[in-house]
């Protein structure tokens, strides 16, 4: 899943992941954090499915950090069972340091994103889930 307000990036991201080997991925994208929260019950309807969530920081209506706060306080089951990554064009040290405030965030990825980086993340979490 991707939460990012940039339509072009969402398209590129989806196209990159559609090339994943043995593609059994369901790619869901949301143009803002509120849209993700509205659809959350549908996104999380199959608990046996591995959820990997990529979240942009700077978005309208609700920032990525505000979404992290909401996940931390109201959706701890999701944060414990999912792999959550911040994906941003911000190279600000304060943004990359803020990840440390959320122990459930697995990493901070800078845009532009390399397809192999995404594939490695997916492979890592799918492999862990199937062991």
Confidence of residue 126 (pLDDT cuts 50, 70, 90): confident
At residue 71, does pLDDT exceed 50?
A: yes
Query: In the structure, what pLDDT confidence band is assigned to residue 42 with cuts at 50, 70 and 90?
Result: low
Q: Alpha-carbon dihedral of residues 67, 101, 54, 52, nearest 10 degrees?
A: -100
pLDDT band at 129, cuts 50/70/90? very low
Residue 7, pLDDT > 90, answer yes
What is this structure's pTM? Answer: 0.89
| Residue percentage of the chain with pLDDT more than 70 | 86
Q: Which CATH superfamily is domain 2-40+50-125 in?
A: Response regulator (3.40.50.2300)
Q: Is the pLDDT of residue 128 over 60?
A: no
Q: Which long-range contacts (CB under 8 A, 24 or more apart) does 12-21 make?
A: 13/54, 13/113, 13/118, 16/113, 16/115, 16/118, 17/118, 17/122, 19/115, 20/119, 20/122, 21/119
């Amino acid at each position: 899943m991707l939460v990012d307000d940039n339509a072009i990036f969402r398209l590129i991201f989806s196209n990159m992941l559609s090339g994943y080997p043995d593609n059994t991925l369901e790619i869901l994208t949301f143009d803002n954090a509120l849209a993700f929260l509205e659809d959350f019950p549908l996104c999380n309807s199959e608990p046996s499915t591995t959820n990997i969530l990529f979240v942009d920081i700077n978005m309208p209506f609700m920032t990525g950090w505000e979404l992290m706060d909401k996940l931390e306080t109201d959706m701890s089951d999701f944060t414990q069972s999912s792999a959550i990554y911040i994906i941003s064009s911000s190279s600000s040290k304060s943004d990359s340091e803020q990840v440390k405030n959320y122990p459930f965030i697995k990493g901070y990825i800078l845009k532009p994103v390399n397809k192999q980086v995404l594939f490695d993340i997916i492979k890592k979490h799918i492999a862990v889930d199937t062991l």
